[in-house]
Homo-oligomer: A and B are copies of this chain.
Amino acid sequence: MSGPKSGYDLKKDFEEQISHFWTESLGQIYPALKKLEKENLVTQKVVRQEARPDRKVYTVTPSGQQLFRDWLEQPAAPIKWRNELLLKVFFGTEMSTDAVLNHIVQLESEQKGVRQLYQYCEDEIDRRPGSPERKLYWKLALASGRHINKARLAWCREAKAAIHDYIENQTE
């Protein structure tokens, strides 16, 4: 985000700012930067350091910025679903009800942790420097995660109740 960055810097940015909705590994970033340089979308500058490996700092070129903006305005690709937990719940008939409940309880406690993380992140945004516009969009992206998180927790409650209901009607 804004300003010259090395591949390593980018990875850290991804992790702390947008890991909630996007992940990228170094094995992708380094080759990508090389490719972008070949296409003149970024330029490289080697910054020598003492007692530390050289940093290769990249800056986006005007044509790179143009391409980025064009990409930004194009409609986003739909999300591809790959939710292993739901797949397992779907096949719940092949397990004991306890095993299914286990999955749900695990998701629930995981999501309770996520909820706290979001709270912390939102406070962080306020504390950090940045323009109101920057903060607005950062918060919006976070807010989406918060809504999804809430939805997951609501589902956990509902799912637990539905399974308990089923068990009771079964034993009657």
Contacts and interface: CB of A to CB of B under 8 A. Distances in A.
Contacts of A136: 92, 162-163, 166
Contacts of A20: 81
A26 interface: no
Copies in the complex: 2
A140 interface: yes
A60 B98 CA distance: 24
Sort chain A's interface into a size bin: 35 or more
Contact of A80 (B23, B86, B93): B23
Nearest to A2: B93
Contact of A23 (B21, B69, B82, B144): B82
Nearest to A153: B147
In the A-B complex, list the 9 residue pairs whose CB atoms are closest, starting with the nearest: A151-B151, A92-B137, A76-B85, A76-B84, A147-B151, A21-B83, A21-B86, A90-B141, A147-B155
28 contacts: A17-B90, A18-B87, A20-B81, A22-B81, A22-B87, A23-B81, A68-B94, A72-B88, A72-B95, A76-B107, A79-B83, A89-B140, A89-B144, A90-B137, A92-B137, A93-B131, A132-B166, A136-B162, A136-B163, A140-B163, A143-B158, A143-B159, A144-B155, A147-B151, A147-B154, A147-B155, A147-B158, A148-B148
